[in-house]
Structure 1
Amino acid sequence: MKIPTTIRKILALARKESRDILQNRIYILVVLVQVFIIMGAVGLVAVASVASDPALLDEIGVTSAINIGLPQSLNGSSLSQYLEEQKLTLNYYNSTDQAKTELGEKLVAVVDLSPTGDVLLNVDTSNVFYSVVSTKINEAADKYNNNKSLKDAGLNETQVNTILNPVNFEIVKVNQDKQVPLALDSPYFVEVIYGFIVPFILLLPFFLASNIVTDSVVGEKERKTFEVLLMTPLSSYMVIIGKIIPILLFSLIQSLAWILVLNLLRVPIYNPVLLIVVLFFMGLAFIGVGILISMLVDSTKEANSAITLVLVFATFILFIPLFVKSEIFQGGFNFIPTVLMVKLAVSPRIQPEIMLYLLPTLILSFLIFVGTVRSFRHERAIRL
């Protein structure tokens, strides 16, 4: 089948732009850096989730390595029993002062009783497990205080146990064959990964490409080839399309690769096709802005400074709604592309209004594209 002349001309320009991009060593380095960013981001969230979740620490057996110091007088007491129930390792010393000498080295915390029977806690706040240890010791102290109050009220051991443990709660898991293969079963992990890391990672190729794409026009000016480009037998629309296609295609391929990487890291991403559609229009806007800026300035340095300011502003607009919980603004936030990406990524079920939420992004991308073409046409008219 014979390819129309117009398409052949666009493809020829696109191939030329592709070669320029692939010969740019910085761009190749940027792609490799993204892999380390993804691994590091997921890893840091996983570590933070485990370090802040007592249940996860118990599950992987980390809390058994957390050492707590107590005076020998508490050995066998109800307080020590409650601390053992928290799966903490107890170390007994002749005195509290002796235990404190190892606080911050071997011990994370030292527990004692005051003369009035109150639980005293000394904890090393520089330890990464400080918050978890505090939570566990507070739970043990609450049980101890309740136990003491009930016994002081004249109740026997059986009555105390009945009040403190009124219900035996057991979780029965069903449909485990349909369970989502998530890396960590942690609310914090899910919230941070899907609420920030996933949209950030998928948009990362377009953020980084926006700086690279500025070279597509301003680079031509610096190399004194811009006038040659203006004299080519291509319409302004054809030139802009030819310049946008390569970087947009490379960025979409990267985002698709990062979706596969996230799935391998057990962060399942649903509705990848619709996500790519959203990314296509967002990428069209980012790259269009990059080309538009590069036509308004005369040097790569100016273009990179301008696009950096645009990206800072775009980051604020795109990511702040992910952290703001407001019923007043929620209706408007639904139209923010990153919020839409989160909704698509977390569930296989697609809401009917999804395409409506995409409409502002589509319109904005189209307007930026038209504005870029008009600016290029104006530049062409002045120079020729």
Structure 2
Amino acid sequence: MKIMALAYKELKDILSEKIYIFGFLLQLFIVMGIVLIGFSYSYIAQIEDKTSVATNDTEFAKFLAQDEEILCFYSKNFFGDAYVQNIENAFYVYTDDKDLFDTLKTRIEEYYFRDEDPLRSPILKIDFIREKRVVPEFIEVMYSLLVPIVLLLPVFLSMNMLSDSIVGEKERKTFEILLASPLTRFEIILGKLAPVIFLGFFQISLWLFVISRKNVYIKNIFALYIFLLILMILFFSISVIFSMLSSNIREANIYLTIFMMFLSFLMFIPLPSLGIFNSIIKYSPVVGIVKITTNLIDISILKYFIIYLVSAMIAIFIAKKVLERDESLKL
């Protein structure tokens, strides 16, 4: 209850600040801009050797999305390695790859006969049309860059929100009152993190809804939320550490800006194919998000959960120690 009371107070304080409301609206414009950029400037490509397939049948798109070898989208436009057009249960497969047609034919038959009573139409027709039509739509750029940016944007901006809250209390000399409360140092950290995590998830859910309106199918939503929760705990704990080491808001913002610039460089800037850089890229949060949103969950993806969960636990432990150190120095 004490943690909930602190979290509720922090949430009210955050929502009362106009700059945070402005930041939320700014994110909305950024997300819409990212989606428009994805549609305007990116082209069809495969992600990790996946086959891109588009179809005008929403139910078939959902059915095909279960295949980890295929990246499937609903669209009324012709694009991808293959386009499957369903006209009253007559399927027309547009592709220049006969092997891909054979694979899709099998999938169509599985889809059509998936119910006990499959005769929704007297005849199942599947035609191979040797033609590949490509429209400049977004697949690779959207999934490998723009979707991670949209999902991580609320996390990065919330780090400043949390930092301003802590350092602001230090400057107003109210943080000492909080330290003198019956709350443990760990409970104080949780109380500070909880409202920011709540707002982060609210924004992420809203952005996912926005991009879903553009027919971007995100796999493993529940696993994605768990992974983003772990990332939030990690990055927000780091924000707490920087805040406790800073004497004013300006200093804390400098620390966070440098940290986020460094983090963005590692996650979004192409690095040379060298040993250490390969490891950094391979286990980057962006790669984890791409794998979770485009693959079926397996052991290789669980590595990302373990790595960042351990990192988050270490970060929150260090934040607690820094908080105790700051308190002992004041005493």
TM-score (norm 2): 0.70
Q: CA deviation at 1:292?
A: 1.2
Residue 32 of structure 2 aligns with an amino acid whose one-letter code is: M
Q: CA deviation at 1:345?
A: 1.2
SS at match of 2:299: coil
* Maintained 8 Å contact 2:148/2:289: yes
- Counterpart CA distance in 2 for 1:50 and 1:336 is 24
Q: Does 1:359 align with 2:283?
A: no
- Counterpart CA distance in 1 for 2:198 and 2:157 is 14
Residue 8 of structure 2 aligns with an amino acid whose one-letter code is: R
Structural mapping, 1:160-199, within 5 Å: 174=105, 189-199=138-148
- Counterpart CA distance in 1 for 2:153 and 2:194 is 18
Q: CA deviation at 1:16?
A: 0.8
Residue 247 of structure 2 aligns with an amino acid whose one-letter code is: D
CA RMSD of aligned residues (A): 2.7
Residue 30 (structure 2) aligns with? 37
* Maintained 8 Å contact 2:42/2:141: no
Identity score, percent:
34
Residue 175 (structure 2) aligns with? 226
Q: CA deviation at 1:327?
A: 9.1
- Counterpart CA distance in 2 for 1:17 and 1:377 is 21
Structure 1 or 2, whichever has the larger Rg, is: 1
Unaligned runs of 5+ in 1: 1-7, 52-168, 179-183
Structural mapping, 1:73-222, within 5 Å: 174=105, 189-222=138-171
Q: CA deviation at 1:332?
A: 5.5
Residue 10 (structure 1) aligns with? 3
SS at match of 1:350: coil
Q: CA deviation at 1:382?
A: 2.3
Q: Deviations over 1:191-211 (max 9, x none)?
A: 111110000110000111111
Q: Does 1:341 align with 2:298?
A: no
Q: Does 1:379 align with 2:319?
A: no
* Maintained 8 Å contact 1:256/1:276: no
Of residues 183, 200, 211 in structure 2, which corresponds to 1:262?
A: 211
* Maintained 8 Å contact 2:40/2:136: no
Q: CA deviation at 1:170?
A: 9.1
Unaligned runs of 5+ in 2: 45-95, 112-132
- Counterpart CA distance in 2 for 1:334 and 1:48 is 26
Across the two proteins, how many residue pairs are aligned to each other?
253
Q: Give the 3 Å change call, closer, same or farther, for CA 336–49 of structure 1 in structure 2.
A: closer
Q: Give the 3 Å change call, closer, same or farther, for CA 50–340 of structure 1 in structure 2.
A: closer
SS at match of 2:155: helix
Q: Give the 3 Å change call, closer, same or farther, for CA 313–49 of structure 1 in structure 2.
A: closer
SS at match of 1:266: coil
* Maintained 8 Å contact 1:337/1:358: no
* Maintained 8 Å contact 1:207/1:311: yes
Q: Deviations over 1:31-81 (max 9, x none)?
A: 111111111111122112479xxxxxxxxxxxxxxxxxxxxxxxxxxxxxx
Greater relative contact order (Cα 8 A, min sep 6): structure 1 or 2? Answer: 2
Q: Give the 3 Å change call, closer, same or farther, for CA 332–382 of structure 1 in structure 2.
A: closer
* Maintained 8 Å contact 1:285/1:364: yes
- Counterpart CA distance in 1 for 2:108 and 2:32 is 28
Residue 337 of structure 1 aligns with an amino acid whose one-letter code is: P
TM-score (norm 1): 0.61
- Counterpart CA distance in 1 for 2:280 and 2:37 is 31
* Maintained 8 Å contact 1:17/1:243: yes
* Maintained 8 Å contact 2:3/2:188: yes
Q: CA deviation at 1:18?
A: 0.7
Q: Give the 3 Å change call, closer, same or farther, for CA 215–202 of structure 1 in structure 2.
A: same
Q: CA deviation at 1:353?
A: 2.2
Q: Give the 3 Å change call, closer, same or farther, for CA 350–25 of structure 1 in structure 2.
A: same
SS at match of 2:138: helix
SS at match of 1:353: helix
Structural mapping, 1:42-57, within 5 Å: 42-49=35-42
